[in-house]
Chains A and B, each alone.
Chain A
Amino acid sequence: MSGLPERLSVPPPARPPRPLTEAEQARYVAVADALCRGDQRVPPPSGCTEFPRRLHLALALRAEAFDAIVRALAAVPGTAEELEPWLRRLHDEDPAMFAALSTVAAGAYLLEPAVRAALGYPGQHPDPPAPDEALREIGDGILDPVRRRGPRYRLPPDGV
């Protein structure tokens, strides 16, 4: 190969600069737990066995933010009590950093099938409508008020 990109208009395969260390991953799971709390239907991120793998994927897709996220993780406080106030401060004082940190955490968590099921999200998929669905939706007179008001365009002096 010449070193030229094979695809010009498609991104290359995603990969993070490196895997998170165990300590970084533990901090990130704690951050994710604070940001994305579960409820009685679904466990928090730390209760999802596949969450670390999904976090790795999410970091790969936001690889440009990896270094900044790792720097933020290094500053995560050591106790659970301090974590939420720290996140709120980060939210207010460094919105770009908070955005990167939080979207990767949330994006990974929202890949969990149980979370998606609890949210009623089937994922994007083909769902062809019934042949008469469109006309049925607008065939009950909902357009009548618009039609009754009549033409509303303005013609220029020299006509159409």
Chain B
Amino acid sequence: MAEPDADVVVVGAGPAGGVVTCTLARRGFRVVCLEQGDWVRPADFPANGPEWELEIQRRWAHDPNVRRLPSDYPLGVDGAELSPVMFNAVGGSSLFAGMEWPRLLPCDFRVRSLDGVADDWPIGYSDLAPYHDAIDRFVGVAGVGGDPAYPPGLDYPLPPNPIGGPGRRAAEAANRLGWHWWPGTNAIPSRRHGEIAGCTRWGTCEWGCPEGAKASADLAYWPPALRAGATLVTGARARRVETGRDGRATGVVWLDRAGVEHLARARAVVLCANGVGTPRLLLLSAAAAHPDGLANSSGLVGRNLMLHPNCSVTGFYDEDLASWLGPAGQLVYSMEFYDTRPEHDFVRGIKLHALPTPGPLNAVEAQRRLGYDAAWGANFLRAAGAHAGGILWAANTEDLPEESNRVTLDPDRSDDSGIPAPAIHYRISENTRKLLGFAVARMEQLHAAAGAVRTVPVELWTDQPGHLLGTARMGSDPRRSVVDAFGRAHDADNLFIADGSIFVTGGSANPTSTITALALRVGRHIADTARSAR
């Protein structure tokens, strides 16, 4: 084999790719990262202008099929009840994430043992805890330690951000109901933390922070990765992973902005292209020796897609809560119904989180579903004025892995480089439907306890969230999983996956915290074992 261009090629510069690249570059490895998007600067984000609420409807939408930027690829969603969302840039979807930073709970790693459904992870809560701690220190997570929903010892490096008027009112309601709640844990530093500014409460975290005050991967991981000598190639569309006669990865074929094909040769390849992009690339890498896709001897590449179907109830109050203030980011969260309970007619549970409701046009848009007279004509100014007194309670539901929920290659769609697009096949299970209905009822209960004057339930967000999990699951049995407990492909020992694809089950905690902890574990493992692997 010719001398490789790098020790490691990483595909995707989002949170997982940033962590892996930074970790390996700081350990002295030559790392090349291929990213199909490019840089977005804080001054680019829509909240810099007063027209931001119109900007986010299309041009900066979360859904790539709506946004259609040059960095995006289309998603075939004809067979899906939800449209997965993502952002393609240096930093990936973390640019558009609220950076809610909960960890999975111990029960999440043992769903089969505890509840008799799905599968157990090959690792447990305590295996990941030190990696979480290291990531939290690195990015400056802000929160309050001692949450009784977690085992003892969980604390955060920075003090919390304010919970504000909406958070305070939400918390008082939870107390009235006797339910668990806790001040929000967010990867949004409450004071400057290295490259990352302290939060100044712009309130638009999910559409990019104009202050550069959240730990998106472009700010948290890429500056130190580049200082350590990593190479980042933007505008690089990965076409396939190349393999040698021995079945091991030899590099990644990619297309530049002009469509010219290149090969980045490496001793190891790490895929961090998210729970849709990673299985797409593995399926695109089919060859004579592996006609069903690379690393797919189990047949599970692309299967078990989990999306955390979201629902919400926005409540409007007759009090000025200054609901334009951030972070957003979770102000408070509740794990009251996170786990299985014997009295429920479903298994597993939901995570609830309360957020502010910035913007009068957004308030009108929320209320338009209540009918013409709720938002228009003589009631328009009242509907718009409700922005100041809003609380958004939203829920992640734990959708269990099902092999029929999957990512395949779309026979009819391709990106503008001619690379086949992914097709999403996703149906909401009966268990998840029960969870969604249960979550809406609980959020209505919270608003009632807080004295909301009107509520707007949304029983399913069809274009949220960007939690893309499970499509190349980890496990000890190569017949039942794609990678091992360190993200190493069972079928190719120098091919690794370090993104949300490797989740076995999804819990209902927002996953980026876990994705980055797993990525750090994968990155360190690659560094620790490189000599023997060679």
Binding site for B on A (CB under 8 A): 2, 4-5, 7-11, 14, 34-39, 41-42, 57-58, 61-62, 64, 84, 87-88, 91-92, 99, 102-104, 106-107, 110-111, 115-116, 118-129, 133-135, 137-138, 142-143, 145-147, 149-160
Q: Return the contact of A137 from the options B126, B162, B200, B380 (Cβ within 8 A).
A: B162
Task: State in angstroms the CA–CA spacing of A4 and B257 once bound together.
Answer: 7
Q: Is B388 an interface residue (CB 8 A)?
A: yes
Task: State in angstroms the CA–CA spacing of A91 and B202 once bound together.
Answer: 33
Contact B70 A158 (CB under 8 A): no
Q: Is B486 an interface residue (CB 8 A)?
A: no
A57 surroundings in chain B (CB, below 8 A)? 51
Q: Is B89 an interface residue (CB 8 A)?
A: yes
Task: State in angstroms the CA–CA spacing of A130 and B504 once bound together.
Answer: 42
B35 to chain A, nearest CB (A): 9
Q: List 15 A-B contacts (CB under 8 A).
A: A34-B377, A38-B381, A91-B372, A106-B361, A119-B385, A121-B360, A126-B202, A134-B161, A134-B190, A137-B168, A145-B178, A153-B151, A153-B339, A154-B105, A156-B113
Contact B69 A147 (CB under 8 A): no
Task: State in angstroms the CA–CA spacing of A127 and B322 once bound together.
Answer: 11
A126 surroundings in chain B (CB, below 8 A)? 200-202, 210-211
Q: Is B516 an interface residue (CB 8 A)?
A: no
Task: State in angstroms the CA–CA spacing of A145 and B148 once bound together.
Answer: 11
Contact B47 A160 (CB under 8 A): no
Contact B160 A134 (CB under 8 A): yes
Contact A62 B54 (CB under 8 A): yes
A137 surroundings in chain B (CB, below 8 A)? 162-164, 167-168
**A-binding segment of B55-63, B419-427, B442-450:** B55-63
Q: Is B220 an interface residue (CB 8 A)?
A: no
Q: A137-B162, A152-B149 are in contact. Are A124 and B235 (CB under 8 A)?
A: no
A126 to chain B, nearest CB (A): 4
Contact B148 A4 (CB under 8 A): no
Task: State in angstroms the CA–CA spacing of A160 and B128 once bound together.
Answer: 11
Q: Is B37 an interface residue (CB 8 A)?
A: yes
B204 surroundings in chain A (CB, below 8 A)? 124
Which chain B residues numbered 383 to 420 have a C-beta less than 8 Å away from chain A? 384-385, 387-388
Contact B105 A9 (CB under 8 A): no
Task: State in angstroms the CA–CA spacing of A58 and B49 once bound together.
Answer: 12
Contact B180 A106 (CB under 8 A): no
Contact A152 B40 (CB under 8 A): no
Q: Return the contact of A99 from the options B87, B164, B210, B368 (Cβ within 8 A).
A: B368
A156 surroundings in chain B (CB, below 8 A)? 106-107, 109-110, 113-114, 124
Contact B361 A14 (CB under 8 A): no
Contact B325 A127 (CB under 8 A): yes
Q: Return the contact of A124 from the options B52, B110, B150, B364 (Cβ within 8 A).
A: B52
A7 surroundings in chain B (CB, below 8 A)? 38, 70
Contact B126 A123 (CB under 8 A): no
Closest 9 CB pairs of A and B: A156-B110, A9-B89, A126-B200, A9-B37, A8-B71, A11-B59, A61-B54, A107-B54, A5-B70
Q: Is B53 an interface residue (CB 8 A)?
A: yes
A145 to chain B, nearest CB (A): 5
Task: State in angstroms the CA–CA spacing of A72 and B489 once bound together.
Answer: 55
Contact A153 B149 (CB under 8 A): yes
A128 surroundings in chain B (CB, below 8 A)? 198-201
Majority secondary structure, A binding face: loop
Task: State in angstroms the CA–CA spacing of A35 and B199 once bound together.
Answer: 37
Contact B376 A11 (CB under 8 A): no
Q: Is B44 an interface residue (CB 8 A)?
A: yes
Chain A residue, CB-CB nearest to B365: A103
Contact B57 A62 (CB under 8 A): yes
With A110-B53, A153-B106 known, 16 other A-B pairs at CB within 8 A are: A8-B70, A8-B257, A9-B88, A103-B365, A107-B53, A119-B360, A120-B385, A121-B359, A121-B360, A122-B324, A124-B47, A126-B210, A137-B164, A138-B160, A145-B175, A157-B113
Q: Is B2 an interface residue (CB 8 A)?
A: no
B159 surroundings in chain A (CB, below 8 A)? 134-135
User: Taking each of A57, A88, A123, A160, which has the highest tally of chain B beta carbons within 10 Å of its own beta carbon?
Assistant: A160
Interface string of B297-339 (1 = CB under 8 A from A): 0000000000000000000000010001100000000010001
A155 surroundings in chain B (CB, below 8 A)? 106-107, 151
Q: Is B378 an interface residue (CB 8 A)?
A: yes
A116 surroundings in chain B (CB, below 8 A)? 50, 360
User: Taking each of A5, A115, A118, A126, which has the highest tally of chain B beta carbons within 10 Å of its own beta carbon?
Assistant: A126
Contact A160 B126 (CB under 8 A): yes
Which chain B residues numbered 461 to 487 have a C-beta less than 8 Å away from chain A? none
Chain B residue, CB-CB nearest to A95: B368
Contact B320 A61 (CB under 8 A): no
Q: Return the contact of B381 from the options A58, A111, A118, A129 (Cβ within 8 A).
A: A118
B78 surroundings in chain A (CB, below 8 A)? none
B307 to chain A, nearest CB (A): 23
B107 surroundings in chain A (CB, below 8 A)? 153-156
Contact B180 A42 (CB under 8 A): no
Q: Return the contact of B40 from the options A10, A88, A142 (Cβ within 8 A).
A: A10
Q: Return the contact of B144 from the options A8, A127, A138, A149 (Cβ within 8 A).
A: A138
Q: Is B203 an interface residue (CB 8 A)?
A: yes
User: Taking each of A9, A91, A106, which has the highest tally of chain B beta carbons within 10 Å of its own beta carbon?
Assistant: A9
Task: State in angstroms the CA–CA spacing of A135 and B191 once bound together.
Answer: 14
Contact A111 B51 (CB under 8 A): yes
Q: Return the contact of B124 from the options A11, A143, A160 (Cβ within 8 A).
A: A160
Chain A residue, CB-CB nearest to B325: A127
A133 surroundings in chain B (CB, below 8 A)? 162
Q: Is B125 an interface residue (CB 8 A)?
A: yes
A96 to chain B, nearest CB (A): 12
Task: State in angstroms the CA–CA spacing of A154 and B111 once bound together.
Answer: 11
Chain B residue, CB-CB nearest to A100: B57
B269 to chain A, nearest CB (A): 23
A129 surroundings in chain B (CB, below 8 A)? 161-162, 199, 201
A19 to chain B, nearest CB (A): 18
User: Taking each of B106, B124, B149, B181, which has the highest tally of chain A beta carbons within 10 Å of its own beta carbon?
Assistant: B106
